[in-house]
Amino acid sequence: MKRSLGVCYYPEHWPDTLWREDARRMAKAGLTWVRIGEFAWSRLEPEAGLLQFDWLDCAIAVLGEAGLKVVLGTPTATPPRWMIERHPDMLAVDQNGNPRKFGSRRHYCFSHSGYLTECRRITRLLGERYGRNPHVAAWQTDNEYGCHDTILSYSDAARHAFRDWLAQKYQSTDALNRAWGNVFWSMDYRSFNDIDLPNLTVTEPNPAHVMDFRRFSSDQVVAFNRAQVEVLRPLTDAPVAHNYMGRITEFDHYKVGADLDIASWDSYPIGFLSDRLEATPAHKATFLRQGDPDFQAFHHDLYRSVGRGRWWIMEQQPGPVNWAPYNPIPLPGMVRLWTWEAFAHGAEAVCYFRWRQAPFAQEQMHAGLLRPDSAPAPGLLEAEKVARELADAPEVGDSPADVALIFDYASAWAWDTQPQGADFDYFRLVFAFYRALRRLGLNIDILPPDAADLSRWKLVLAPGLFTLSPDLRAALPSCPGQVIFGPRANSKTPDFAIPADLPPDLPGLKARVTRVESLPPGIAVALEGGGQFRHWAEEVETRATVRLRRADGLPALVQGGNLGYLAGWPCDATLHSLLAQLCADQGISTLDLPEGVRRRATSRVCFGYNYAP
Ligand code: GAL
């Protein structure tokens, strides 16, 4: 597979006299792809029905003639102002009941059927015009579902669609009342039309109600995306992608990904470090100009799974960004390092965001590969270097992993709905496991919660998985090594209740969680041998083998057959030694990498990364 580079470009931001020179410089820099169009609706259709596609025809021709391949975005993340006149109730509504107004982007509710029809229409017009254009070699639907907290909408459109969704799921309000436990606090419903969205309640709404709203909201994104894919399929043979984000868990990316050919994501390592990661001030200072050593890799592995092997970086940070609380300049070499790390994890393409820094509007402080005056910015020189290196680099090869980690979006919704401890966050928990495995120098595969075959991995980890799917239950015997669940795994039914026989209810593992506690920062439960549980600890009754105990004698890790259960959230050091031991048990060799150094071994090349300053 040929790895390639690209860039995001906004021809509508620049005079058309610049396009040819820009295209020439892109090609000369060694770039292959150019993504365009994803915010251009107001220039494609300045008034409802008044279509002006000539400039896009011309931009695509200019780029294509320079030898570039176009990724064409559907412009549905930025409905123009006239759209609000046509559909005044299409705006998303926040949790406090306030409409999210026009004046930036993503101001639509996924449930609004009128807006969905408009999106189908513009997608069809683009597909008809460019679906067979030889220069348009890939498509992107919308832009960053979930950006700016836009998945959950409490609009009238959402309320009506949610009632329909519930009626389909439960068929009768009796069934719904039973499933949700609505006898509690006299919350019974007599009609689906009485059911509201779970916001603005006096205190916590019923968690089963919230959980269904989260499932519904995710399904709305899947349906919205699918509508565009269905329009495009007959009109083009080019692959269709969406650009996902870092640490966005509000919708099920596996389900969106099932309709697409390629998963792509937008990687902003320095922005993420300051604004999307729990870490000590010392960690944030150490990695200030490099980004966290594991955050990007986690998403590379996640999106490789979402894309069923095919994935890209659609937007790569090229220099300082504008949107984090503080926006430092990357150390020299980091743009190159981030790019190569993506290739090591199997990316087909890495596209930089953006070509030229825009001197106007919201993102004027965001770097591009060019400065606003068109001179090269430092990021361009690093991109050019990677382009030269790619030309004579060997094939990366595939990267077999012995260890897999399950990542489940519904678990993120569940523990967000009832965290029980203020800092119990599902992503944080899974990411702690991922980081510990990376420190051991391992390749890691990320699996969906319905993985049906575990035969390729010697160690499979499922921390915090809120329910065990029938598929995964059936797949457990296929793992030739160990599957370790917990903490908090399988501790709810799909209806968000405590299972009748108590968790974890794993086949053949004689253990029951009888009590749980959450722990404030600074408080730990000591383990035998010096380790600690933080955030969360469980009391377990068991007749299975106890592999590790707490200092008070209670079981910390129990094992039966090829299944294990971990009864707490280990601190980072404990997780590191525990996972090293579990790997050793399976004959998986590990390293103890120094701070900031990471490794990825492929069948042909072994990559080493120094994230340290
Ligand atoms: C992404 C987005 C881009 C741009 C970029 C700035 O989230 O897709 O349009 O806003 O961030 O870093």
Judge whether residue 4 has pLDDT over 90.
Answer: yes
Domain with CATH 3.20.20.80 in the chain: 4-148+222-392
How far CA 382 is from CA of 259, 278, 385, 389, in Å, comes to 34, 29, 5, 10
Does residue 266 line the site of ligand 1, with CB under 6 A?
yes
Best residue among 266, 270, 276, 321 to mutate for probing ligand 1's pocket (most ligand atoms within 8 Å of CB) is: 266
Does residue 268 line the site of ligand 1, with CB under 6 A?
yes
What was the pLDDT predicted at 126? Answer: 98
Query: pLDDT tens digit string along 52-62?
Result: 999 999 999 99
Judge whether residue 397 has pLDDT over 90.
Answer: no
Mean pLDDT of the chain: 97
Judge whether residue 493 has pLDDT over 80.
Answer: yes
Judge whether residue 215 has pLDDT over 90.
Answer: yes
Judge whether residue 454 has pLDDT over 90.
Answer: yes
Three-class DSSP labels, 189-250? CCCHHHCCCCCCCCCCCCHHHHHHHHHHHHHHHHHHHHHHHHHHHHHCCCCEEEEECCCCCC
Place of tokens 């890209």: 312
How many angstroms does the Cα of residue 26 sit away from the middle of ligand 1? Answer: 20
How many angstroms does the Cα of residue 323 sit away from the middle of ligand 1? Answer: 9
User: Which residues does the annotation mark as catalytic?
Assistant: 144, 315
Place of tokens 């004959």: 587
The CATH code for residues 4-148+222-392 is: 3.20.20.80
What is the percent of the chain where pLDDT is above 70? 100
Query: pLDDT tens digit string along 314-358?
Result: 999 999 999 999 999 999 999 999 999 999 999 999 999 999 999
Closest to 527 in 3D by CA, of 597, 575, 490, 565? 575
Judge whether residue 99 has pLDDT over 90.
Answer: yes
Q: How sure is the predictor about 398, in pLDDT bands with cuts at 50, 70 and 90?
A: confident
Close Cβ partners of 201 (under 8 Å, ≥ 6 residues apart): none
What was the pLDDT predicted at 179? Answer: 98
The domain 403-610 is placed in CATH, from the list 3.40.50.880, 2.60.40.10, 3.30.70.100, 3.40.630.30, at 3.40.50.880
Contact predicate 72/136, CB 8 Å: yes
Does residue 324 line the site of ligand 1, with CB under 6 A?
no
How many angstroms does the Cα of residue 303 sit away from the middle of ligand 1? Answer: 18
How many angstroms does the Cα of residue 280 sit away from the middle of ligand 1? Answer: 26
Q: How sure is the predictor about 394, in pLDDT bands with cuts at 50, 70 and 90?
A: confident
Does residue 144 line the site of ligand 1, with CB under 6 A?
yes
Question: Counting atoms of ligand 1 from 1, which one is nearest the CA of 314?
Answer: 8
Q: How sure is the predictor about 395, in pLDDT bands with cuts at 50, 70 and 90?
A: confident
Does residue 315 line the site of ligand 1, with CB under 6 A?
yes
Domain with CATH 3.40.50.880 in the chain: 403-610
How many angstroms does the Cα of residue 12 sit away from the middle of ligand 1? Answer: 17
Does residue 366 line the site of ligand 1, with CB under 6 A?
yes
Query: pLDDT tens digit string along 13-35?
Result: 999 999 999 999 999 999 999 99
Q: How sure is the predictor about 2, in pLDDT bands with cuts at 50, 70 and 90?
A: confident
For residues 479-490, average pLDDT: 98
What was the pLDDT predicted at 384? Answer: 98
Query: pLDDT tens digit string along 360-382?
Result: 999 999 999 999 999 999 999 99
What was the pLDDT predicted at 580? Answer: 98
Does residue 143 line the site of ligand 1, with CB under 6 A?
yes
